[in-house]
Amino acid sequence: MRKDNEGNFRTFWFRYDGYEIKEIDEKHYITPKENSKIIMYDPFDLADDILVDILMIGRCVEKNDIEESNKKIMEFVEKYGLLGELTYLPLNTDIVKQNRIYLPSGNLVSEKETLPTDEYIELFLKCKKKQKVVMKKNARGEILDLSVENEMNPLALIDRPAEYAVVFSRAYSECLVWIMHYARTLYLTFEAIENYSKAQDAYTKQIYDTRIKEFNPSKIACKILMGKNKEDKPVLEWNFNSLKLAIDTMFALNETTKRKTVKMCKHCGKPFASQNLKAEYCSPQCRNQANVYKSRAKNKMEEV
């Protein structure tokens, strides 16, 4: 998908310039490095790169190449930040004020489908950090005030509820397997859509149908911002609750447009991005290889 030249839509996300993996209770958590710097960016400026990178991770996971997928996940978070699972997952909004979280069943973050907000937030604060997230609570355990110490406050730049300060803090972490699982699911949906017309039998088509139906991001919200000056065009501003939801949206837009820029290579099956709408192969090598196979097949036909 492609942001047009007039830049008629925008969103934002934060990343740090360094991340590390910490092992806690036999789980691997990814978290910003202690001395890393926070950077704000618009994921839509990098939409095709983000899509190709997350789909490549999914492809590695699906092929069971865990070493390569771990390497690619670290590269991914250093380029784009963590996915924002904390704000993506809950079924309800304004979770600090409501003091309770409702989660979809079968999620990887918690076995419980409902839990107090403070308990939920702690699931993302597993790594010991100098930077503290402070939750002042009353006797019933309800959060009265949530603040992040010793940090430039990203919320000063944007209009978001308090829980976003946690997601954008250096104390925040996400489990490696959450990212693996998300990338794999997205890749399988991608594969199903890209190969749909090629499915030979009813069984494969059924599998593809199910995968495509299961892709069901909720809570996509946007608003129209009018420009400050007369000559400014109105801007579609997306209120994504996470990088994950931004990726879901980029993916849905990419798969449904005629001007698709992220595709699956017809020869090797890898996801790739190309502004050339006719491009079918990820590289000249793949195109040449495919041509060789084609002419061999043709020769064979002629021999018969």
Residues making contact with Zn ion (CB under 5 A): 265, 267-268, 282, 286
Q: Are 80 and 50 in contact (CB under 8 A)?
A: yes
Q: Are 264 and 271 in contact (CB under 8 A)?
A: yes
* 167 or 265: CB nearest Zn ion: 265
Q: How far apart are CA 168 and CA 115, in angstroms?
A: 22
* 128 or 294: CB nearest Zn ion: 294
Q: How far is the CB of 267 from Zn ion (least distance, A)?
A: 5
Evaluated on CA atoms 200, 201, 207, 209, the torsion sign reads positive
Question: Which residues pair with residue 145 across a beta bridge?
Answer: 136
* 184 or 263: CB nearest Zn ion: 263
Residue 244: which of 190, 301, 167, 299 has the closest Cα? 167
* 30 or 273: CB nearest Zn ion: 273
Q: How far is the CB of 282 from Zn ion (least distance, A)?
A: 3
* Residue 45 to residues 2, 40, 80, 218, 300, Cα–Cα distance (Å): 8, 12, 11, 23, 47
Q: How far is the CB of 273 from Zn ion (least distance, A)?
A: 12
Q: How far is the CB of 287 from Zn ion (least distance, A)?
A: 8
Q: How far is the CB of 283 from Zn ion (least distance, A)?
A: 6
Supply the angle between the helices 243-256 and 47-62 in degrees, to the nearest 10.
90
* 253 or 268: CB nearest Zn ion: 268
